[in-house]
Amino acid sequence: MTAAGERKDGERNLLLTLAFDGSAFHGSAVQKNAPTVQGALQQALRQIFGEAPALKCASRTDAGVHARTFCVSFRTGSAIPCERLVEALNAYLPEAAAVRSCREVEADFHARYSCKGKRYCYRILNSRIRDPFLLSTTFRVPYPLDWERMDRAAKAFLGTHDFSAFCSAGGSVEDHRRTVFAAAVRKAGELIAFETAGDGFLYNMVRIMAGTLIEIGAGKRPEEDILRALEAGDRRLAGFTAPACGLRLEEIYY
């Protein structure tokens, strides 16, 4: 056994960066009898190392949520060079996941606890007609959305707030105060993207933020509803939880 932060002789602490198509997994966290990102990674590491190290994941993502960047750290006594480990992992992982990089980090680095923040993107296809190429990576809204109104409204998320109104029941954390650094809505063709970065996000927080913005963009709610929901801390004052398929974890800050 090693105490936290202590380095055993010859043991390295490695940080993996992955990307995955969430439609192929039942979320990131390991589950029995369902394919998960963590489960697939454990199995691949077991095939390479002979045993699976304990994995520390930067976040838990729900079934269907995608990641362009997902970070995992673990300790290993194996001397296999980082570049070779990337190749070996990609040979064993299912195609819907890929290890993009591997590097050695300080002994006390922890993919979850060392995380300073994250950036997410929620993508909406605003079209009456589906796009066969964007079925699993966008949420389609067939009625018109006013993206500029959504962008204005999104500014209410900026700063430090109690985000209880933007959190589903079932989360394990007690402190619901989070700081949002960025919140903007942009449009390119029929795609509307809500991008947000913050020091941390509660259970379903980005999806509820996106759902509320969609209702504002459709004219079903006044722009001021976000401020009102934040102040009251009441989940019922915020909008619906937008589907997982539109959400992608883009970046993790350390």
**C-alpha span between 201 and 120 (Å, rounded):** 10
Closest CA to 166 of 253, 237, 65, 72: 237
**C-alpha span between 124 and 133 (Å, rounded):** 13
Applying CB under 8 A, among 13, 16, 20, 57 the residue interacting with a copy of itself is: 20
**C-alpha span between 7 and 107 (Å, rounded):** 6
Site stretch for a copy of itself (CB under 8 A), options 48-56, 72-80, 90-98, 183-191: 90-98
Site stretch for a copy of itself (CB under 8 A), options 4-12, 13-21, 39-47, 168-176: 13-21
50 Cβ contact partners less than 8 Å away, ≥ 6 residues apart: none
Q: CB 237 → a copy of itself: shortest distance, Å?
A: 34
Q: By the 8 A CB rule, do 19 and 82 touch?
A: no
Q: Is residue 131 involved in binding a copy of itself (CB under 8 A)?
A: yes
Cβ closer to a copy of itself: 190 or 223? 190
Q: Half-sphere exposure of residue 123, counting CA atoms within 13 Å on the CB side? A: 18
Calculate helix-pair angle for 205-217, 225-232, nearest 10 degrees. Answer: 140
Q: CB 96 → a copy of itself: shortest distance, Å?
A: 5
103's tokens: 């590097």
Applying CB under 8 A, among 15, 86, 141, 197 the residue interacting with a copy of itself is: 86
Site stretch for a copy of itself (CB under 8 A), options 46-54, 125-133, 171-179, 204-212: 125-133
Q: Is 162 a catalytic residue?
A: no
**Type of residue at 182:** A
Site stretch for a copy of itself (CB under 8 A), options 111-119, 128-136, 156-164, 176-184: 128-136
Cβ closer to a copy of itself: 87 or 224? 87
Q: Is residue 99 involved in binding a copy of itself (CB under 8 A)?
A: yes
180's tokens: 């949002």
**C-alpha span between 166 and 211 (Å, rounded):** 10
Size of the site for a copy of itself (CB under 8 A): 21
Binding residues vs a copy of itself (CB under 8 A): 19-21, 24, 66, 68, 86, 90, 95-100, 129-133, 135, 137
Q: Mind telling me the catalytic residues? A: 62
